[in-house]
Chains A and B, each alone.
Chain A
Amino acid sequence: MGIEIPFDVATIAGPEAGDVAPPEVIGSYISSASRPLLAVGSEMLRDDFFVEIAIEIGKKGIPIAATGHSMKGFVEKGYTENVYYYNLHELTNCLRDPNWKGLDGAGNYDFVIFYGIIYYYASQMLSCLKNFATDPLMRTVSIDRYYHPNARMSFTNIMTRMEEEYKDMLRKLVESIKG
């Protein structure tokens, strides 16, 4: 098996690069978190299906930080129960602080799922968490159609022609997250 290429090929940060993993493994990994958070970006809005996936994850009790202008998608679907608008840069600034009270005031998170976020923006925020949210360790995954070396786990790069396969992966992922 060859080495996976980052979606933006030059995004090779250093010796520590995350793993490519299938949806069931990532789902199981998410399930191991005690306080996970789903950070959603504006790329989610490209298709209703992806909004529905975020909502499915939200319904499993994982709070959602709607970054970029992704909030529109949740409002349009009438799902805002555990959805909070937050700028991703500001959110990451909070996430790196173990003393942050979280979106609900109950404390910081131990696991962040990145989803629907512009690749290079997500990559930089994942880099911040990888390098500075280490004590206690914050685990991160990406469930976008990209390989993200700065996340501990992510999917592989998925070309547009494989869109249906990607949707299947997301379905399997949602199924494998224990609520």
Chain B
Amino acid sequence: MTWLRLAFRNVFRQKKRSILLASAIAFGMLAITLLNSLTLAMGTAVKTNFSAALGGHVYISGEVVSPRNYTSNRINEPEFIQQLIADSGFDLVEVKYRSNVRGQVIFGSQSDSISIQGIDLNNETKLAKRIEVRRGDFSQLGQSNTIALPVKQARALGANIGDTVLVKANTTSGQQNLLQWQLVAIIVDQGSFGRSNAYASLSSVNQLINIETNEFQKINLVLPDMNQMQQVTDTLKRQLATLNKAKPEVEESGLFSGMRRMGGTGSTYVDNPWQGTQFTVTNLDDVTQQVMSLVNTLDWIAKAIFVIMLLITLVGISNSYRMVLLERIAEIGNMRAMGAQANNVFRLFIYEAGILAILGTSAGLVVAQIAITVIQELTFTGRGPQTMFTVAGSIPASLDLVSVALSSALILIMCLLAAYIPARNAAKLDPAEALRTGT
């Protein structure tokens, strides 16, 4: 306790020097905490956005071949895949059957392009909760030939509840189709990278893209725990491969390769047609893999910068303690003369470095927490790719306690190491020599 108290007072003896050293440590801690928090937030935002946009964690899509050897994205064996999922015994929160198409919505002389999701409201309880209905009734999508449009599109078209709009889109075989739907809801959906989807009933979209009303293009599985994602994916892939119903996997790279795999190859000619549906199983990790690797690269760059900054700071701390040693030679000789053991002197220097590290780290953490709070309050608007790093327009930044603990421990250890040699030299000082040369 005596040495700790003495060390604490020694830290404040040269206030300017201590403040400078602690500030350098604090800046390092602030930088790494913020960078860690931001990269973690980016990762969280990417997964949250993709999960919300894609409506689940594991995605099953299918492709069938037409008599003219052209593929189309659809599952024409719904009972087979439904039975397979039921037999697998997975713990599932939701099983969503969906079809979707990018189409043109026309009202009067106005038109706008939008992605239309065909949904079965009976299986979409979470979506119904997430959607904010501004006008109309979202539950009316249970009826055929109805559509819910985002506020922005409804405003651009000048359409209101009850109006009939024309919806134009390509069928799975590439022909154009045009249907009349009634606008039943005007909504706000913040869950898809800032881009909004229109929603229609599954059967209506199937009619638009010209597939059977009991069919669908995708099955999205929502799991209770995201960590089960890979296990479920592997099991389904294995079962489909055993039944010879799995589409051969093609190695593909690029930012959105996972999404393309999930969506199928579209209408392409094949030399060797197959019977029935060939299934592709992907999951959130596949879709976000490329984006996450970018985030991870940023994370490693941040860590490298932190280590370099830390090393520079440590050289400063080590040099400072060499100076401290020179300044306190007589004092150390005096303490040794009074009966302080060499290890007491060693401990005094180590305690001082430890206190400095703790003060600097704490200050850095406090500032980082303030910065994170400010970042959380910021709202980002726009529709670019950057929206994948925000959730509902905000960066979901928070202190990552594990990385805070690791960074703090690393700073403490490095500071103690920086003080180690000066502390050892101080402990080794010959008392007679120290009293003779010290002033």
User: Do these two chains interact?
Assistant: no
